[in-house]
Amino acid sequence: MRYPGLLIIISVLFQLAAAWKTFVVPHTPGQDDTPALLSGLANYTSDSTILFEKGKTYNILTPVTFPTLTNVEVRIEGNITLPDDMPTVQAIVASSDFSGHWFFFNGGTNVTLRGSKDPKWGWVDAHGQSWWDAQEQNNRPHGWRFNKIDGGVITDMKLWKPIAWSFSTSGSNNLHAYNNRIFAMSNSNSFPFNTDGMPAMHVSLFAQTHIEAFI
């Protein structure tokens, strides 16, 4: 007995799997990993996974602007550390070409930002404690900007001590954010000022479930 319909389905699934690409973000200990990330993005703007590997702590010491993406998942299975030197960060924020956010998604369709379910991995450390202790509010970077994304998901993200706003989704449409965690609890008497979680201003069809914020 023959099953031509089944063979067609299998063939289509095989072609789809073959077309999907994965970019494993390179990591060099002690160096800024942003240039290597940016240099590879041009080849993975559609039907791709951009993977921060588990077991690595990536140094994203300069801001990242993603190009327009289509059917792309950014998967953060490793940890990410941002600069811990306040004057360095302030100089970057004060520059004329800074987008306002350390991670800026500049438009796209069906874009997923996915963290890790492993409690030890998938953390993004912004080193906000030193900013809170200094009560410094000048030239503070915001975290993640989902800008003009049509059909997006933000899930399982874990942010450790953000400096300012964690996520911004304004200008996007049909977003679902769930199971995200923001740890903005100070270990001193200093207050973690303006570490907002996920404001949804100017967003169409926004659904948010289960965001944990420790402040």
Low-confidence ranges of the chain (pLDDT < 70): 1-18, 189, 191-215
Task: Give the integer Cα–Cα distance in Å for 9 and 7.
Answer: 5
Give the pLDDT confidence of 5-39 residue by residue, as tens digits: 655 555 544 554 558 999 999 999 999 999 999 99
Q: What is the pLDDT of residue 19?
A: 86
Task: Give the integer Cα–Cα distance in Å for 25 and 34.
Answer: 9
Q: What is the pLDDT of residue 207?
A: 54
Helices (H), 20-85: 34-41
- What lies within 8 Å, CB to CB, of 73 at 6+ separation is 48, 49, 50, 111, 112, 113, 114
Helices (H), the chain: 4-19, 34-41, 86-94, 128-134
Q: Could you give the domains of the chain? A: 22-214 (2.160.20.10)
Bridge partners (DSSP) of residue 79 are 57
Are the beta carbons of 165 and 196 closer than 8 angstroms? yes
Q: Look-up: residue for tokens 């993640």? A: 144
Task: Give the integer Cα–Cα distance in Å for 44 and 32.
Answer: 20
- Supply the DSSP string of 116-164, one letter for each residue: -SSTTSSEEE--HHHHHHHT--SSPPEEEEEEEEEEEEEES-EEES-SS
Q: What is the pLDDT of residue 34?
A: 99
Q: Look-up: residue for tokens 């975290």? A: 143
C-beta atoms surrounding 139 within 10 Å: 16
Residue type, 192: P
Q: What is the pLDDT of residue 194?
A: 53
Phi, psi dihedrals of residue 128, rounded to the nearest 5°: -70, -20
Task: Give the integer Cα–Cα distance in Å for 32 and 20.
Answer: 28
